[in-house]
Structure 1
Amino acid sequence: MDEFSFGKSNFDRILRKIGLKLSEKKELKVKVLIAVGLCWLPLVILSLIHGNFWTGSIEGSFITSAEAQTRFLISLPILILAEPLVGGRLIKTLVQFLDSGLIPKNQVEEFKSIVKKKTNFLQNPWTDIFLLVICYIQVGSILFFEAQYTSVAAWQFGESNGEAFLNIVGKWAVIVSRPITLFLIYRWILRVLVWGRILAGIAKLNLYLSPFHADKAGGLGFLAFSISYFSPVCFAISVSIAGNMADLMLVDGMKLIEFRLILLGYLLFIAGFFTYPLFVFSKILLDFKEKCIFELYDGIQHVYNKVDLKTLHNRNPEGENAEDISYVASFADFNAVLENVMNMRLLPFQIRDLLPLMVLTLVPFLFVILIEIPVSEIISRLINTLF
């Protein structure tokens, strides 16, 4: 499975073509430095030249833009650093299908073909071009909204004869900085979609599931770990959103309560989007569970028919009832097996498996809360609640 990758991109190929042969760690550092050097550093230099690095107030200053600083100094590096980490773990998860014997030997090549076909889609240059087009459309739409209805993008605009226009800092942000960050986010969204397509293809194979497996998911319980693998990505996205919320609160005076529906929708989206790939196994787990239950019922009924209560009362271990006694002894075993099958889950994950994902998704918003509610007040409320 070494030939497959969720982390490598067309940018990695460009680095190799220009002769940069570095170790994985050094290559990762170079990518982060290039990204920050393209997205953040020019904005600093241009804003210093233009005079809006610090204007004397929060509004209109580049350095006080929470969205810009969090997006380009925190989210951007994390989105890049997470690529080999998450990608490597997803590949290990796929290898587990082979190592655990879930894939029949006559379908191993089909399994590899599914993985190769889907991951190759990520490496296609046209895929990146399509994503870039979407990014520029979205950047333009967001900029129009911010310019018309908020003041958070004031550092990107100048004014002449009463008309607003993009200044040199804003032009770089719109043409380079914001599209690059958004592109990385969309690449991650695409990775999750591809991950879902791979699992959907695997679900169509004749998997060797076990009704007796301790994970109560037929042996697919290891897939639950894949949910937490995406936690760093969710953290990075949340940091960017939290930065934008902070700007709207500090510059435009919006209140935290005004974001409640947006935040709730965002959390539901995160929970649903990063778990949906595992829902493809619900049907095969349901069919497998029903099949096992009916087969076990047939077996148990056969045992029950061999013994009745009268026979049990008059049992003679050394006589003609010895065979009946052996059937009675198997009751407990059959019941234990049936109970295990009845408790099989229809999904290879539980609610608790979402905990790491949701915690890291929520952490950045704690700092937004502190803008409106001071730490001292939060501590005071906690003390009053507890005591």
Structure 2
Amino acid sequence: MTDGVQGFETLAIHAGQDADPATGAVITPIHQTSTYRQPTVGELPGGYDYSRAGNPTRTALEECLAALEGGVRGLAFASGMAATDTLLRTVCKPGDHIVIPNDAYGGTYRLIARVLDRWGLEFTAVPLSDVDGVRAALRPNTKLIWCETPTNPLLGIADVTALAGIAREAGVQLVVDNTFASPYLQQPLILGADVVVHSTTKYVGGHSDVVGGAIIVRNAQLGEDLAFHQKSMGAISGPFDSWLALRGLKTLAVRMERHCDNAESIVELLSNHSAAAEIFYPGLESHPGHEIAAKQMRRYGGMVSFRVKGGQQAAVQVCNRAKLFTLAESLGGVESLIEHPGLMTHASVAGSELQVPDDLIRLSVGIESVEDLRADLLQALG
């Protein structure tokens, strides 16, 4: 059905999602089964034998994600961290080294620094906007560069094409966590990355009702290796979770446009408010990564971070006073969220080189009426 189709919105609705041949259902069914009948030993009419190894609903999601990111294969997992863990254990072995951002997501840092370190994985944290610094951080045992762009929570921007060039020169792989941008705003594989990772919990699912993760690759052999580890390690996306993520993809484009519209309005408000000491948003011309973001992103996203005058106590008070902005972890849903990264999502990096400012607030700007969001933020800022 999608042969020759290039439009993102069309692929999101149709890629991997032909009408059900048994019933004609236009929406992919939830194949809520653990196993499949074999007419004779080893005969698999649909190609499935056990749902840890493969499930038709999960296959539809994986094919759709691969199409949207421009990859050759997608794999869906139980969470973004399950995807991250499987990827690192597939590509790396004990004694290997990786380069990570110096403002990486706290959960990624925790996995690498406190779990995989006992497995023997080494890492160096550097600002990925410093291309020369990334090159200098590479070692003979480096296996990959782990990139977030925009980063969580400081919304730093990395030049994916430049990092891909460094990775090719060094014979290592470039992995991009594309969660903040979503495949609608940015396609790292097309920019030269080797692997894309998502927490599909966020913008892909889009409704705060599912936890999931994904890996999309440009190399078929790596896809086979990951599929083997996915089956062997078992942290797969279940049928219903896959169906929810697939449903979310259908409206991703229209949701992201509204997220971006609302975020830009919130940034404008903060830019004119005396309580905001510093604003992190790649759409601002003053943002150090603005020119690169303009080159590699369709728009600048729905995430906004800012520092407030008055330190941690003032930041906590703003979070507590918000009403329409729900005080909660996570991001990317239709509802707006507010949080204090230092005490919530990024508490795991406290005391490390990745520690975030204690006066920082992170907003996930939803798709509500922007005037209501502005009014709530104004009263929260006091």
Q: Is TM (by shorter chain) over 0.5?
A: no
Task: Please identify the structure whose Cα radius of gyration is greater.
Answer: 1
TM-score (norm 1): 0.28
Larger helix share, 1 or 2: 1
When you count strand as a share of all residues, which structure comes out higher?
Answer: 2
